[in-house]
Amino acid sequence: MNKRQIRTEILDRRNQMRNEQRELAEATILKSLTQLKEFNNAHTIASFVSFRNEIEMRSINASVLGAGKKLVLPLIDMTLKTMTFHAVSELDTLVRNSYGILEPNPTIHEQVGIDAIDLILTPGVAFDQSGYRLGYGGGFYDRFFSELKKATPSIGIAFECQVVVNLPIDAYDQKIHGLLTEAGLRYFNQ
């Protein structure tokens, strides 16, 4: 299957999850995340805001703030095809972009340099057993990962139904360090 076909199949799987199944998985993931050494050792955590039936990140983002950590969230510039991260101390201050996605307001949320980030919680449509991820096709996270100058841990956050054996890989695709689902945490060799 090609990337487009995999996206369609995995999005269908994710959309078919029952509410009870989702809520149980999300609670398990949140509990596991807050016990990870990468989470506890981090001062600044890059996260994301849920989109298209992704795992609900509001509780996770609130837990980051509740643990006294700096939460940074992505701001996408579709014209420049860039993604920057901005510090958010209150989730209610996010604004909807033209696609309906909540994001930081650059006039009130300070941009944070990528080298200040200690842990990256990474979204995706699908993840494979080698550490590759498939997003929505914009390439924002692959470009972001290629710009990192330090070995900042990146952990995918997803439901187990989003895991596949192998994804088709292109030269620009970047691996993540780990994947956290309701089934637990997997680490990948870099």
Structural domain boundaries in the chain: 3-183
Q: Write down the CATH number for the domain with range 3-183.
A: 3.40.50.10420
Task: For the full predicted model, state whether its pTM sits above 0.75.
Answer: yes
Q: Contact at 8 Å (CB) between 131 and 92?
A: no
Rounded distance between C-alpha atoms, residue 103 and residue 87, angstroms = 11
Rounded distance between C-alpha atoms, residue 63 and residue 175, angstroms = 26
Structure tokens at 95: 């604004």
Handedness of CA 142, 148, 151, 153 (dihedral sign): negative
Per-residue confidence in pLDDT tens, the chain, 190 aa: 899 999 999 999 999 999 999 999 999 999 999 999 999 999 999 999 998 889 999 999 999 999 999 999 999 998 888 999 999 999 999 999 887 889 999 999 999 999 999 999 999 999 999 999 999 988 899 889 888 877 899 999 999 999 999 999 988 888 999 999 999 999 997 6
Q: Both ends of the chain: CA-CA distance in Å?
A: 25
Put the strands of the sheet holding 184-187 in their side by side order. 111-112, 82-88, 70-77, 44-46, 119-122, 154-157, 178-181, 184-187
> Residue 190's pLDDT is what?
60
Rounded distance between C-alpha atoms, residue 38 and residue 159, angstroms = 20
> Residue 189's pLDDT is what?
79
Rounded distance between C-alpha atoms, residue 98 and residue 82, angstroms = 16
